[in-house]
Structure 1
Amino acid sequence: MLNKKLSQFLAICAIGSLSWVLVQNSWTESYLTGMKKESSVPAAAVQDRLHEEIQQAAEKYSEKPVDAVVDRVWKKTPGYNGIEIDVDKSYKKMKAKGKFKENMLVFKEIAPSVHLQDLPPSPIYRANPNKSSVSFIINVAWGNEYIDSMLDTLKKHHIKATFSLEGRWVKNNPEMARAIAKEGHELGNHSYTHPDMQRLSMQAAVKEIVDTNKVIEEVTGTKPALFGPPSGSFNDTTVKAAASVGMETILWTVDTVDWRKPTPEALINRVVPKLHNGALVLMHPTDSTAKSLETLITSIEKTYVIVPVGEALLEDRIRR
């Protein structure tokens, strides 16, 4: 009986010793550690693949910013923001699902090094050619009978234009000037008496611009930042006069020539084929423009976003 109990005791000790050896054995420790590592590999691998896919997308979608320049042909041209993917924010946004989704990418815009305000005085004919925008410049010194109709059409399509107002016209038509401003349209300066600006001295040019700004601000509460010389007549003195009071001189790239009273069809056929990124379209309150404006808007919006000139000159990218 004693021998039997002794044998059982020795067997228990042996099993215990063996168990202790197995647990403490370096091979066993390595095996268990390996199992732990192996169990964590799939999750880490998924995260690594996700990060890699986002990095690949970042290379695909990256566009460098474009500096503002004084172009030999197009003169002063605003810059345009670049764009790149914010990898860290995109990763954080997607990692909960552990799956790459293109519509969850987080983008950020990168500003250029040279801005419009860094450039010397020069006229502006268009926005940046990378910007898929088109802007309407409506010069107003007459044509009151067509303005309400044009405002209605613009409002119907949620379009904001740049109305370049003659100072003398604003003085004589304050209610109409206020109506334009109330609709949220951008107000520009079209001189006070509609002179041939290139024939004026610096002093006279500044007076035309300042007097117009004054009356527009008194009537509408808005101080214009853009100057549109009448008939597009200007010289270096004109541009410097505008710059001296903090204004940009704005011209155009597409002319409706609506003062010649073309048919609406002729006006549309003249304008639409000439449109391009950053186009500034010149028009006036005329019967031709009032009747063709709706078709013009719907045609343009198939390809471009219609924004006021001031917005077109910003470096912000167009988001459709």
Structure 2
Amino acid sequence: MSYKKKQVYYDIKTEKKIVALTFDIGNGNQTAKKVLDILLNKRVDKTTFFLSSPMLESFPEVGIRIRQMGYEIGSHGYNHYNYSEYDNQWIEQQVTKAEEIIFKVTGVRPNLIRTPNGDFNQRVLDKLSEMGYTTIHWSADSLDWMNPGVEEITNRVLSRLRPGVIILMHASDTAQQTDEALPFIIDKLREKGFEFVTVSELINEENQ
């Protein structure tokens, strides 16, 4: 079936009880290690990580382990600046630099990107699309990076739960409560009959 993917995805419309659990990693390696251990122990085999390339330069073992565990890898760019505030040449330099680092560490050339701070406008989307990227946003924001408490993180995800959502979490060291909330979130989603898929699988489901 021939179809044109959207430039940006917040979620998809589906009747299947599937969700995409996604993690941004912008700094450190300790929370990432804990998150990956939880995903392994909980036998979650489908998730998508958006990797900041400076983090990968400092902690390549994080990217290597994510790749070895078979998880999907997307780009979170290089400098954590709002793309809409910069011209297209700057965007191309940033995204290309990030792509090369991700490829060097993991062997993956990503075609999904989550822009820093989730910032974009139509010009940014057009540029990223021209570069072969699909921009991934979210529809269930855990706000775990704010460390609001395990109960608040869990409730924010569950209150926004429906088929086809993209869940945003963080595995950066600044997110100090993610590893505590994650097991509850995984268990609750499964209790409600939801299955985990990668972002790419979610996108493909919409275009069946």
TM-score (ref. length: structure 1): 0.60
Q: Which of 193, 200, 204 matches 1:303?
A: 193
Could you tell me which runs of 5 or more consecutive residues in structure 2 were left unpaired when the two chains were aligned: none
Letter in 1 for 2:60: P
Report the Cα distance in structure 2 between the residues aligned to 1:274 and 1:147, rounded to whole angstroms: 24
Structure scoring higher RCO (CA < 8 A, sep ≥ 6) equals 2
TM-aligned CA deviation for residue 171 of structure 1: 1.5
TM-aligned CA deviation for residue 127 of structure 1: 2.4
Structure number having the greater helix percentage:
1
Q: Which of 173, 180, 183 matches 1:291?
A: 180
**Counterpart in 1 of 2:168?**
282
Structure label with greater radius of gyration: 1
Could you tell me which runs of 5 or more consecutive residues in structure 1 were left unpaired when the two chains were aligned: 1-110
Question: Within 5 Å, which residues of 2 pair with 1:148-163?
Answer: 148-159=33-44, 160-163=46-49
Is this contact kept in 2: 1:171–1:215, CA < 8 A?
A: yes
CA shift in 2, pair 1:290/1:116, >3 Å? farther
Report the Cα distance in structure 2 between the residues aligned to 1:145 and 1:209, rounded to whole angstroms: 25
Letter in 2 for 1:308: T
Report the Cα distance in structure 1 between the residues aligned to 2:15 and 2:107, rounded to whole angstroms: 33
Identity %: 28
Letter in 1 for 2:188: S
**Counterpart in 2 of 1:135?**
20
Asked if 1:315 corresponds to 2:201, the answer is: no
Report the Cα distance in structure 1 between the residues aligned to 2:205 and 2:188, rounded to whole angstroms: 25
Asked if 1:115 corresponds to 2:3, the answer is: yes
Asked if 1:240 corresponds to 2:129, the answer is: no
TM-aligned CA deviation for residue 316 of structure 1: 7.5
For residues 188-243 of structure 1, the C-alpha deviation after alignment (integer angstroms, 9 at most, x for no partner) is: 10111111111111111111111111110111101111010111111112111211
Is this contact kept in 2: 1:201–1:237, CA < 8 A?
A: no
Is this contact kept in 2: 1:191–1:209, CA < 8 A?
A: yes
User: In terms of mean alpha carbon deviation, does 242-251 or 300-309 score higher?
Assistant: 300-309
Letter in 1 for 2:11: R
TM-aligned CA deviation for residue 303 of structure 1: 2.4
Letter in 1 for 2:89: Q
TM-aligned CA deviation for residue 115 of structure 1: 2.2
TM-aligned CA deviation for residue 143 of structure 1: 4.1
